[in-house]
Amino acid sequence: MNNNELVYIATIIPVLLVITVIVIIVLFIRKKNKLLIEQQQKELDFLSEINKARIEVKDTILKQVAGELHDNIGQILALNCMYLKSIRKSYSEEQLDVIAELAAKALNEVRQLSRLLNDDLVHNYNLVDSIRKLQEYLSKLSALKINLEISGEVRVLDTNVELIIFRICQEFITNSLKHAQCDRIDITLRYNPHQLMLQLSDNGSGFNIQDISEGNGVLGFYNRAKIINARIEMDSVPGSGTTLSLVYNTPQQ
């Protein structure tokens, strides 16, 4: 090997090393940028889902209030109007007492609905208290029986995580009432040292789990669980009700 060849090799090797280093740096930067973009997109998706859940929680409550105004308060006021018309001809102390009682009942109903509208449940309460409030409201507004069982040491989680879990509870109940024609829902919350386990089950008509499609609202449960890195499973058989199980790994202290 002559001197020219040695010089060529001595020159080309550093050049190749520099090119290799540049290529590695460029690939690293691209990969890093891609990861940053993916992380930013995940954060945007998370915030979008949180805002959507907040709106849906309020929307569901508004629908409950609308139904209560029509079915309960409307009937109370209509009955009161009938009594008022009847006493134009003649009246008794008993009729006046009934009118006063109906008016007081209507006022009490309006006050309760006002509190329901003003309550930002998950913001003002933790998850357990929010579910208890939901249980209280629904037990009053419908014939649905909701059983709530809580075990373990209750811990307050991140507000956004609790909002998503609460929205899953609310949506399950809404779907069960609307589609499954159930009259009972069992809610179980189990707090373990590193996990929160939620189980929802109804005694409704059930459905074939294999029939779930892209347009099916059931997929919303899986999408919401994915947002908070929770695992979710659903089990349903026609005629045997539906069960939803969620497991959320709580952050280590």
- Domains of the chain (ranges; CATH) run 121-253 (3.30.565.10)
Choose the weakest-confidence range: 6-10, 33-37, 90-94, 221-225.
Answer: 6-10
Closest to 245 (Cα-Cα) out of 196, 176, 181: 196
The pLDDT value given to residue 91: 65
Q: The whole model's pTM is what?
A: 0.61
The pLDDT value given to residue 54: 65
Question: In this prediction, what percent of the chain has a pLDDT beyond 90?
Answer: 15
Q: Cα separation of 205 and 52, whole Å? A: 29
β-strand 242-249 against 231-236: which pairing, if any? antiparallel
Dmax (CA) for the chain in angstroms is 130
Q: Pick 167 or 101 by higher pLDDT.
A: 167
> Does the pLDDT of residue 53 top 80, yes or no?
no
The pLDDT value given to residue 56: 67
Average pLDDT of the chain is 77
| Entry field: residues in the chain | 253
The pLDDT value given to residue 149: 94
Q: pLDDT (tens digit, 9 = 90+) per residue, 158-201?
A: 888 888 898 899 889 888 887 778 888 999 999 998 999 999 99
